[in-house]
Structure 1
Amino acid sequence: MRRAFPSSRLRAGAAMAALRRALTLLVLAAALLARPAMAQQILRDAETEAFLNDISAPLIKAAGLDPRNAQVLLINDPEINAFVAGGQIVWIHSGLFIAADNLNQMQGVIAHELGHIEGGHIIRSSEGIKTATGITLVSLLLGAAAMAAGGGEAGMGIMAAGQQAAMGKFLAFSRTQESSADLAGARYLSKAGISGKGSLEFFKKLQNQEYRLAIPQDDSYGRTHPLSGERIAVLRDVYEPDPAWNAKTPPELEERFQRIKAKLFGFVSDPQQTMRTYPDSDRSIPAHYARAYAWHKAAYPDKATAEAQALLQMKPHDPYFLELDGQILLENGRPAEAIAPLREAVRLTNNQPLIAVLLGHALIATEDSAHFAEAEQVLRAAVAKDRNNPFAWYQLGVVYERRGDQARAALATAERYSLQGQQELALRSAEAAMAGIPEGTSDYLRAQDIAMAARGMLSKKKKR
């Protein structure tokens, strides 16, 4: 009788271990549907964001989404992937952007991801998890009952079979969502008058990757996505008869894609790799762009400046070439020289906030108090258009501190900490701001809002 309790405890322990494994599998499966964007570095760039907005606008409209809410953003991740993770944001990996040969391929990817948004797939993923969890829990109960009756091996077999069935059910649910997004994306491309050739071309790229990884091509069971060959077969029958099949990409958009792709390559890749891909013999705009970022990254400011000047000789009034020239000068200790090209870039882009923040940074970095009033004006205009830029708030806080306005410096700091998720510091800074800003003013009310939000977040954290 003394052995009965230990053996039952072992059986219960085994059941609990199986439960933990099963639930872990379900959590991992759910994670395959959505990857947390904030776990990776978001790449903010004025030219890239304007381009992604322009190329996605007709697809967002075709999907029936509000263009004020839907957007496409870039994250620094070498994997060839894109995803949605709640809300109406499509996240494009830098690796996918670089892997795409042309704009049409990129638009095919965006259309597919918008299909997930319109279909509410992130929200509906709970349905697949619920079904799989139900199968898992039933198998655990049956397995535990079998083990309690003395059939230890039979019980563990029931649990293992249940876990496999649950995972299979969840993966089938995921594949259904992917197929649905494929067809939805095809509708958006057609409605926007964009060819589906690029979509098929990109799936062929993925298929080649599957071949290299020796992924069996006879069955997609056990995968979150259908095999690329299966998707190509279905979509070819949809795309080829479509009136937009032979539609051409506007040359100016394709030119923008190629130069931004080169710019991104130079920014994220090893400089030596960039020089091999875009050698000195290549005198095109994309090549100069890639090399400028590569030389700047490798800490060769004179060579980086030479590439930027080559770009400006070809297009003297291009705001993004002016931005690049100013950025290189600023980040190499020449802020006074950076002001002129950055001012012109801000003017040409109608006060684009990311470029305006760079100008504000240059004005402050001169440490000339004569520039502080302009810096404050530029930075306030920037955060009025884009409040979600922690560096902008940091620079604005520096300006206020240099001008002796400690209360508004604290408010800017509170904004920055709030965006960065540092709620204790946000609360402390907001309270400091309220102590020095007149009650009832807009700045006081904003500090009060930040403080209230921070307290709420901290309270939830304590309860968890």
Structure 2
Amino acid sequence: MRRRFYLSLLLFSVLLSGCGVLEWKDRALDALVDRIPPDMEASLGNQILPSVLPPEAVLKDAELQARLDSLLKPLIDRNKIHEPKIRIIISREPALNAFALPGGILIFNKGMLMAAGSPEEILGVAAHELAHATEKHVLKSMIQSLGLAAIVNFFLGDISDLGAYILQQSQVLLQNGFTRKQEGKADEIGFEYLVGASINPQGMNHFFQRLEKQKSEGGEGEKLQRVSAFLSTHPLTTDRIRLVEERMAALTPAEKDKLKPVKFDLKGFQERLAQTR
């Protein structure tokens, strides 16, 4: 009874306030996701993972895994990313893609890793996905289709009910994708992560520019299909690329001096990756 009273009161305040319903919904969504404890988010991610990436699709090569972990470790450690705890997985999928799941699970497809022209390009994509994870964009995306009343009802009620809802509807909810605002935020924070780890953020743009060039040129059918798969889940615009250039130009000389080439045997990594089935 009390929960219904608070729900009615909040919805009534929305009608009386100058804020739009969408703004109130965003605020309520943020508050709801903030209530989800890290262990619950990690559990959700682990339970969703097999339906997104079956065990047989996981590339299990200890050497490749160790190399990729070591490449991303400075990016994670120097930015003091502790929550969620990041878990890196390599998928056998040839489709050019990388994505995040709840609980800090980052999945890099074989196709995406093979397409990179430098370690900075892999790190650029990784920084973007890390930002989605730390900002909890994945969870927000999964439940943003709920109406304001439902979000508030979950917020005021048992949070475990929300977990059960996410698991039951995970396949549908994962198709929601990110909003333009969330993509922009991931670019912004990802850029900061790269600079914080002394990694040149231009790698992010170089990767995106290569993809757009391949798409505009048409390319081979299979390759074009892989590129399109990435662009469909990571919508690229000239504005997003331009913003990275503007942020690069805004760095001070001292900040630019700290950006060092990443030492990583990309050729050796990709040769082993290409041979792994």
State whether structure 2 residue 222 is matched by structure 1 residue 249.
no
Q: Secondary structure at the match of 1:65?
A: coil
**What count of residue pairs does the alignment treat as equivalent?**
189
Partner of residue 81, structure 1: 97
Change (3 A) 1:39 1:261: same
Partner of residue 90, structure 1: 106
**Contact between 1:206 and 1:228, CA under 8 Å: does it hold in 2?**
no
Partner of residue 135, structure 2: 119
Amino acid at match of 2:89: L
Deviation of the 1:36 alpha carbon? 1.2
Instruction: Give distance in 1, aligned partners of 2:63 and 2:93.
Output: 19
Equivalent residue runs for 1:78-157 within 5 Å: 78-131=94-147
Name structure 1 gaps, 5 residues minimum: 1-33, 135-169, 216-222, 269-464
**Contact between 2:202 and 2:244, CA under 8 Å: does it hold in 1?**
no
**Contact between 1:82 and 1:90, CA under 8 Å: does it hold in 2?**
yes
Deviation of the 1:249 alpha carbon? 2.0
Equivalent residue runs for 1:59-458 within 5 Å: 59-66=75-82, 69-131=85-147, 174-212=179-217, 225-242=234-251, 243-244=255-256, 247-250=259-262, 253-254=263-264, 256-268=265-277
Partner of residue 165, structure 1: none
Change (3 A) 1:209 1:195: same
Partner of residue 285, structure 1: none
Amino acid at match of 1:249: P
Instruction: Give distance in 2, aligned partners of 1:67 and 1:123.
Output: 14
Q: Deviations over 1:402-429 (max 9, x none)?
A: xxxxxxxxxxxxxxxxxxxxxxxxxxxx
Deviation of the 1:185 alpha carbon? 0.6
Aligned-residue RMSD, C-alpha: 3.1
Deviation of the 1:80 alpha carbon? 1.1
Deviation of the 1:267 alpha carbon? 2.5
Q: Secondary structure at the match of 1:84?
A: strand
Amino acid at match of 2:110: S
Q: Which has the higher contact order (CA 8 A, sep 6+)?
A: 2
Name structure 2 gaps, 5 residues minimum: 1-48, 151-175, 225-231
Deviation of the 1:48 alpha carbon? 1.4
Q: Secondary structure at the match of 2:260?
A: coil
Change (3 A) 1:185 1:245: farther
Amino acid at match of 1:71: R
**Contact between 1:207 and 1:228, CA under 8 Å: does it hold in 2?**
no
Deviation of the 1:182 alpha carbon? 1.0
**Contact between 1:207 and 1:229, CA under 8 Å: does it hold in 2?**
no
Instruction: Give distance in 2, aligned partners of 1:210 and 1:131.
Output: 37
1:44 to 40, 47, 60: 60
Change (3 A) 1:95 1:132: farther
| TM-score, scaled relative to structure 1 | 0.37
Change (3 A) 1:92 1:40: farther
Amino acid at match of 2:179: S
**Contact between 1:63 and 1:118, CA under 8 Å: does it hold in 2?**
no
Q: Deviations over 1:407-461 (max 9, x none)?
A: xxxxxxxxxxxxxxxxxxxxxxxxxxxxxxxxxxxxxxxxxxxxxxxxxxxxxxx
Instruction: Give distance in 1, aligned partners of 2:84 and 2:70.
Output: 13
The higher radius of gyration belongs to: 1
Instruction: Give distance in 1, aligned partners of 2:52 and 2:260.
Output: 35
Deviation of the 1:225 alpha carbon? 4.2
Partner of residue 53, structure 1: 69
Instruction: Give distance in 1, aligned partners of 2:148 and 2:216.
Output: 30
Change (3 A) 1:40 1:121: farther
Instruction: Give distance in 2, aligned partners of 1:213 and 1:204.
Output: 14
Q: Secondary structure at the match of 2:106?
A: strand
| TM-score, scaled relative to structure 2 | 0.60
Q: Deviations over 1:354-385 (max 9, x none)?
A: xxxxxxxxxxxxxxxxxxxxxxxxxxxxxxxx
Amino acid at match of 1:106: I
Q: Deviations over 1:295-338 (max 9, x none)?
A: xxxxxxxxxxxxxxxxxxxxxxxxxxxxxxxxxxxxxxxxxxxx
**Contact between 2:59 and 2:91, CA under 8 Å: does it hold in 1?**
yes
Change (3 A) 1:63 1:228: farther
Partner of residue 25, structure 1: none
Q: Secondary structure at the match of 1:195?
A: coil
Instruction: Give distance in 2, aligned partners of 1:245 and 1:78.
Output: 37
- Which has the higher mean CA deviation after the structures are superposed, 103-112 or 237-246? 237-246
